[in-house]
């Protein structure tokens, strides 16, 4: 049957853009950091489970500050959900809201921004995502990034799925909806076997709490126990806040299915591969009071400082962290070098996220709104500044200027990670490659560009040593995912390759 204007309806090459709804928040605090995109938390077997989830998410807020969501289930009442922009503490602490989330079973999610709606989060992009299936509902919360989500989305739309969000994570729930399996955990296995990339997922049915990590185990996921209940969390610090005992990490490629009565059942639904945990979780993403791979994150960071002091010593008067993320490495550098540790830069504690509709003057203030130099301390001193990373280099330049304005005699940057020269496609918000300073400059060029007396990054081997691999990085089988430093992507980023992203030549 012919319709007069079919041409205008001809299929576009890419899935059509989702309608944009103004009721959104912009996210750009211009802080020149890589940002973890998400934190996940779930609880089963505890009364008022949603309260525990709220506490857990509060402890994971550093993994995503734009928005948060919680889904709970109570027998006889069903599923309830709440999704809000803003901090957990501003939304999910109110009795009037939490009363709407009853039950012993709940999961939650905090997010920074997604692959889909960069810069604008809409409430429909806020997880957990929920789907009604014929055997009951399921909710999922996803940390990571599905690297073949565009292809999956096209395929699902072709078959009649209607996407509500622009999130890659929504593919999982649609794949589950179309699975022929008769129960939800099996549908989830079906779905995730189709997904490439990084995923630490916390999910729930009416009775089960489910946790899954992708075969590489790129993002963290840990299991905790509190009384008769169980918790799944991105990091151990969120187990601490609810008073839960840290049981173990979920293993790469493992799925755990937890019920109030039968406890934890473990499955390994994927083809086994060597794991590749994200090394940047050690450097910056995780909280210093979390434990990863049996190691204190704080101590790994302090050891990075120790390694840096060995690799890149310099004669100076003070070792100052760029607050707050550079602090543990600065302590380590001071301890190894014997140069006194000092708070040369003070952070304003009242900076939140981005400004809404700021005046020109506020926009121009930039880093001064957040950081101030301790002028009386710095004046005339040779200062070593320890920072966690250099992304675009914009903030580093401004800090250098502030320090020199305050009368420092010399400024030496020491960076607690190797040069960040490749984007991450596994759940981290990175600028395009051209905007990464290290993608286009050598260390010396960066030093000149930043205008500092010296600039040194820790080596990849030094970083591995600090992260518990005494022999350094094994190029044949690296223990961690270090693609942002090395350009070696353990999973091919297929959507991005289709869009024209150039991998590092093998010969490089």
Between the CA of residue 182 and those of 92, 139, 179, what are the distances in Å? 34, 17, 8
Give yes or no for residue 100 binding a second copy (CB under 8 A): yes
Give yes or no for residue 459 binding a second copy (CB under 8 A): no
- By CB under 8 A, the residues from 469 to 508 that bind a second copy are none
Q: Would you say 368 or 499 has its CB closer to a second copy?
A: 368
Tokens encoding 74? 């109570």
- By CB under 8 A, the residues from 242 to 261 that bind a second copy are 243, 257, 259
Least distance (Å) between residue 434 CB and a second copy = 25
Distance CA 258, CA 446 (A): 50
Residue with tokens 């490439």: 196
Does the annotation list 484 as a binding residue? yes
Give yes or no for residue 327 binding a second copy (CB under 8 A): yes
Distance CA 64, CA 74 (A): 27
Q: Which residue of 142, 287, 412, 473 would you call a contact of a second copy, by CB under 8 A?
A: 287
Does the annotation list 72 as a binding residue? no
Question: Coil, strand, or helix at residue 195?
Answer: coil
Sign of CA dihedral 384, 389, 391, 395: negative
Residue with tokens 């903030």: 395
Q: Would you say 136 or 472 has its CB closer to a second copy?
A: 136
Which residues make Cβ contacts (< 8 Å) with residue 406, sequence separation at least 6? 373, 374, 375, 378, 379
Does the annotation list 31 as a binding residue? no
> For strand 410-415 and strand 382-387, is the pairing parallel, antiparallel, or unpaired?
parallel
Residue with tokens 């599923």: 79
Give yes or no for residue 342 binding a second copy (CB under 8 A): yes
Tokens encoding 223? 């299991």
Q: Would you say 62 or 282 has its CB closer to a second copy?
A: 62
> For strand 197-204 and strand 136-146, is the pairing parallel, antiparallel, or unpaired?
antiparallel
- By CB under 8 A, the residues from 102 to 121 that bind a second copy are none
Does the annotation list 320 as a binding residue? no
Q: x/- site string to a second copy, residues 158 to 177, per CB under 8 A?
A: xxxxxxx--------xx--x
Give yes or no for residue 341 binding a second copy (CB under 8 A): yes
Q: Would you say 94 or 272 has its CB closer to a second copy?
A: 94
H helix or E strand, kind and range, residue 202: strand 197-204
Least distance (Å) between residue 178 CB and a second copy = 4
CB 196 within 8 A of CB 489: no
H helix or E strand, kind and range, residue 239: helix 237-242
Q: Kindly indicate which of the ranges 34-42, 342-350, 419-427, 490-498 contains the residues binding a second copy, using the contact rule CB under 8 A.
A: 342-350
Q: Would you say 159 or 505 has its CB closer to a second copy?
A: 159
* Total interface residues for a second copy by CB under 8 A: 131
Q: x/- site string to a second copy, residues 414 to 453, per CB under 8 A?
A: ----------------------------------------
Give yes or no for residue 141 binding a second copy (CB under 8 A): no
Q: Kindly indicate which of the ranges 369-377, 407-415, 455-463, 488-496 contains the residues binding a second copy, using the contact rule CB under 8 A.
A: 369-377
Closest Cα to residue 45, out of 266, 265, 258, 222?
A: 258
Q: Which residue of 194, 247, 314, 335 would you call a contact of a second copy, by CB under 8 A?
A: 335
Q: Kindly indicate which of the ranges 123-131, 391-399, 419-427, 459-467 contains the residues binding a second copy, using the contact rule CB under 8 A.
A: 123-131
Which one of the listed residues 38, 171, 195, 237 is annotated catalytic?
A: 38
Looking at the DSSP bridge assignments, the partners of residue 78 are 74
Closest Cα to residue 351, out of 337, 362, 341?
A: 362
76 C-beta neighbours (distance < 10 Å), count: 6
- Residue 374 burial (C-beta neighbours within 10 Å; 0-12, 13-18, 19+): middle
Does the annotation list 165 as a binding residue? no
Give yes or no for residue 338 binding a second copy (CB under 8 A): no
Give yes or no for residue 9 binding a second copy (CB under 8 A): yes
Least distance (Å) between residue 119 CB and a second copy = 15
Does the annotation list 388 as a binding residue? yes
Give yes or no for residue 220 binding a second copy (CB under 8 A): no
Which residues make Cβ contacts (< 8 Å) with residue 156, sequence separation at least 6? 163, 171, 174, 175, 178
> For strand 229-233 and strand 38-44, is the pairing parallel, antiparallel, or unpaired?
antiparallel
Tokens encoding 417? 């990670």
Give yes or no for residue 355 binding a second copy (CB under 8 A): yes
CB 166 within 8 A of CB 117: yes
Looking at the DSSP bridge assignments, the partners of residue 36 are 428
Q: Which residue of 132, 228, 444, 445 would you call a contact of a second copy, by CB under 8 A?
A: 132
Distance CA 446, CA 158 (A): 48
Q: Is 195 a catalytic residue?
A: no
- By CB under 8 A, the residues from 184 to 213 that bind a second copy are 184-186, 205-208
Give yes or no for residue 37 binding a second copy (CB under 8 A): no
Distance CA 239, CA 225 (A): 8
Give yes or no for residue 62 binding a second copy (CB under 8 A): yes
Give yes or no for residue 466 binding a second copy (CB under 8 A): no
Tokens encoding 466? 């600090």
Least distance (Å) between residue 10 CB and a second copy = 6
Q: Which residue of 135, 227, 274, 442 would you call a contact of a second copy, by CB under 8 A?
A: 135
Q: Kindly indicate which of the ranges 140-148, 194-202, 373-381, 447-455 contains the residues binding a second copy, using the contact rule CB under 8 A.
A: 373-381
Q: Which residue of 27, 40, 43, 58 would you call a contact of a second copy, by CB under 8 A?
A: 58
CB 119 within 8 A of CB 140: no
Distance CA 255, CA 234 (A): 14
Residues making up the annotated binding site for Mg(2+) are 325, 387-388
Residues making up the annotated binding site are 278, 325, 387-388, 424, 481, 484
Residues making up the annotated binding site for [4Fe-4S] cluster are 278, 424, 481, 484
Q: Would you please indicate which residues are annotated as catalytic (active-site) residues?
A: 38
């Amino acid at each position: 049957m012919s319709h007069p204007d079919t041409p205008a309806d001809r299929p576009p090459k890419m899935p059509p853009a989702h309608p944009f709804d103004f009721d959104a928040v912009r996210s750009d605090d211009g802080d020149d950091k890589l940002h973890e995109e998400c934190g996940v938390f779930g609880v089963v077997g505890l009364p008022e489970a949603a309260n525990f989830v709220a506490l857990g998410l509060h402890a994971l807020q550093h993994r995503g500050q734009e928005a948060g969501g919680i889904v709970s289930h109570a027998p006889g009442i069903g599923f309830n959900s709440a999704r809000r922009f803003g901090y957990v503490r501003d939304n999910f602490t109110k009795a009037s809201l939490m009363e709407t989330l009853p039950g012993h079973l709940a999961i939650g999610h905090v997010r920074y921004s997604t692959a889909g709606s960069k810069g604008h989060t809409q409430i429909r992009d806020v997880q957990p995502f929920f789907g009604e299936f014929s055997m009951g509902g399921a909710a999922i919360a996803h940390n990571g990034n599905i690297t073949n989500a565009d292809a999956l989305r096209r395929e699902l739309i072709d078959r009649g799925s209607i996407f509500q969000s622009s999130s890659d994570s929504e593919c999982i729930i649609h794949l589950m909806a179309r699975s022929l399996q008769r129960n939800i955990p099996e549908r989830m296995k079906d779905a995730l076997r189709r997904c490439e990339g990084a995923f630490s997922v916390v999910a729930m049915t009416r009775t089960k709490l489910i946790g899954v990590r992708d075969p590489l185990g790129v993002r963290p996921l840990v299991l905790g126990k509190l009384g008769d209940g169980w918790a799944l969390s991105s990091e151990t610090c969120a187990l601490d806040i609810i008073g839960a005992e840290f049981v173990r990490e979920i293993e790469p490629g493992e799925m755990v299915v937890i019920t109030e009565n039968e406890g934890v059942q473990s499955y390994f639904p994927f083809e086994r591969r060597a794991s590749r945990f994200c090394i940047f979780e050690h450097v910056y993403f995780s909280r210093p009071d979390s434990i990863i791979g049996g190691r204190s994150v704080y101590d790994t960071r302090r050891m990075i400082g120790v390694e840096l002091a060995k690799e890149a010593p310099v004669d100076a008067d003070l070792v100052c962290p760029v607050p707050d993320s550079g602090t543990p490495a600065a302590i380590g550098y001071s301890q190894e070098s014997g140069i006194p540790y000092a708070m040369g830069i003070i952070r304003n504690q009242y900076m939140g996220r981005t400004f809404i509709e700021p005046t020109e003057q506020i926009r121009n203030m930039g880093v001064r709104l957040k950081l101030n130099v301790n002028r009386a301390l710095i004046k005339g001193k040779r200062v070593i500044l320890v920072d966690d990373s250099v992304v675009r280099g914009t903030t580093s330049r401004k800090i250098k200027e502030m320090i020199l304005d305050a009368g420092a005699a010399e400024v030496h940057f020491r960076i607690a990670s190797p040069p960040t020269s490749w984007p991450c496609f596994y759940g981290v918000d990175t600028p395009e490659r051209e905007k990464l300073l290290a993608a286009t400059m050598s260390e010396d060029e960066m030093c000149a560009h930043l205008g500092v007396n010296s600039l040194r990054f820790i080596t990849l081997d030094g970083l591995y040593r600090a992260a518990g691999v005494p022999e350094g990085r094994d190029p044949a089988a690296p223990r961690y995912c270090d693609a942002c430093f090395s350009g070696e992507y353990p999973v091919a980023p297929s959507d991005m390759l289709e869009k024209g992203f150039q991998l590092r030549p093998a010969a490089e």
